[in-house]
Amino acid sequence: MPLVRYRKVVILGYRSVGKTSLAHQFVEGEFLEDYDPTVENTYSKIVTLGKDEFHLHLVDTAGQDEYSILPYSFIIGVHGYVLVYSVTSLHSFQVIESLYQKLHEGHGKTRMPVVLVGNKADLSPDREVQAVEGKKLAESWGATFMESSARDNQLTQGIFTKVIQEIARVENSYGQE
Ligand code: GDP
């Protein structure tokens, strides 16, 4: 029997950037136009990567802003993060920078596997954040960057497999110290 490893991943970002849509696309394979604003929702999915199986537990949060105080449950026992902004909202990008700092303070010296996601890439004409800016920010954290569209199902699978890979990468780098 292969070992199924448990991975808890929290999705954070400003409201309406598409956190629920991305999680829903990934787990249910569909895009719904209208959701009720999320309170907090969890999703579970078994993800197979090569020979390894993972039980991915996703926490879809209600959305934060620069004034939010992150609860301990977003720090303790969390293996990795998907930080989402919308490419159509500069404000959501600024909120992500402040959320990252708060997570960083919460984790102290422990490294955090992070995938930074610029969602709503299908709305490119309404862009307020260029891909190069997202890439630069992710690089400054040593994190992975992706643009996605929950509507077009563009890269939604890739985000969540990437975060599992990032968790493994960070764990392995500890093993080598
Ligand atoms: P959340 O508050 O961050 O969880 O955002 P939601 O998933 O509820 O999405 C907010 C709104 O943006 C909804 O009307 C979605 O249909 C829409 N939306 C989400 N992702 C995308 C996307 O990739 N492209 C477009 N065009 N709309 C999106």
User: Could you report the per-residue pLDDT of 19-77, keeping only the tens digit for each?
Assistant: 999 999 999 888 877 766 667 789 999 999 988 999 999 999 989 999 999 999 999 99
Helix (H) or strand (E) holding 55: strand 52-60
Q: How far apart are the first and last CA of the chain?
A: 31
> What is the structure's pLDDT at 33?
75
DSSP letter assigned to residue 154: B
Look over the chain and give the mean of its residue pLDDT values, rounded to a whole number: 91
- 16 C-alpha to ligand 1 centroid (Å): 6
Classify 53 as helix, strand or coil. strand
Number of the ligand 1 atom closest to the C-alpha atom of 32: 16
pLDDT higher at 175 or 6: 6
pTM for the model stands at 0.94
> What is the structure's pLDDT at 114?
97
> What is the structure's pLDDT at 176?
56
Q: Are 17 and 86 in contact (CB under 8 A)?
A: yes
Q: Is 36 in the pocket of ligand 1 (CB under 6 A)?
A: no
- 76 C-alpha to ligand 1 centroid (Å): 28
What average pLDDT does range 134-160 have in this prediction?
94
Q: Is 144 in the pocket of ligand 1 (CB under 6 A)?
A: no
- 18 C-alpha to ligand 1 centroid (Å): 4
With 70 as the cut, is the pLDDT of residue 102 above it?
A: yes
What average pLDDT does range 145-163 have in this prediction?
93
What residues have CB less than 8 Å from 82, skipping those under 6 apart?
A: 9, 10, 11, 12, 22, 114, 115, 117, 159, 160, 163
Q: Is 20 in the pocket of ligand 1 (CB under 6 A)?
A: yes
What residues have CB less than 8 Å from 169, skipping those under 6 apart?
A: 113
Number of the ligand 1 atom closest to the C-alpha atom of 14: 3
> What is the structure's pLDDT at 117?
98
- 39 C-alpha to ligand 1 centroid (Å): 15
What average pLDDT does range 80-97 have in this prediction?
98
- 103 C-alpha to ligand 1 centroid (Å): 24
Instruction: Convert 92-103 into a string of H (helix), E (strand) and C (coil).
Output: HHHHHHHHHHHH
Dist. CA 93–CA 10, nearest whole Å? 17
| Cβ-based burial of 58 (10 A; exposed 0-12, middle 13-18, buried ≥19) | buried
Query: 134 phi and psi, to 5 degrees?
Result: -65, -40
Q: Are 88 and 147 in contact (CB under 8 A)?
A: no
With 90 as the cut, is the pLDDT of residue 109 above it?
A: no
What average pLDDT does range 138-152 have in this prediction?
95
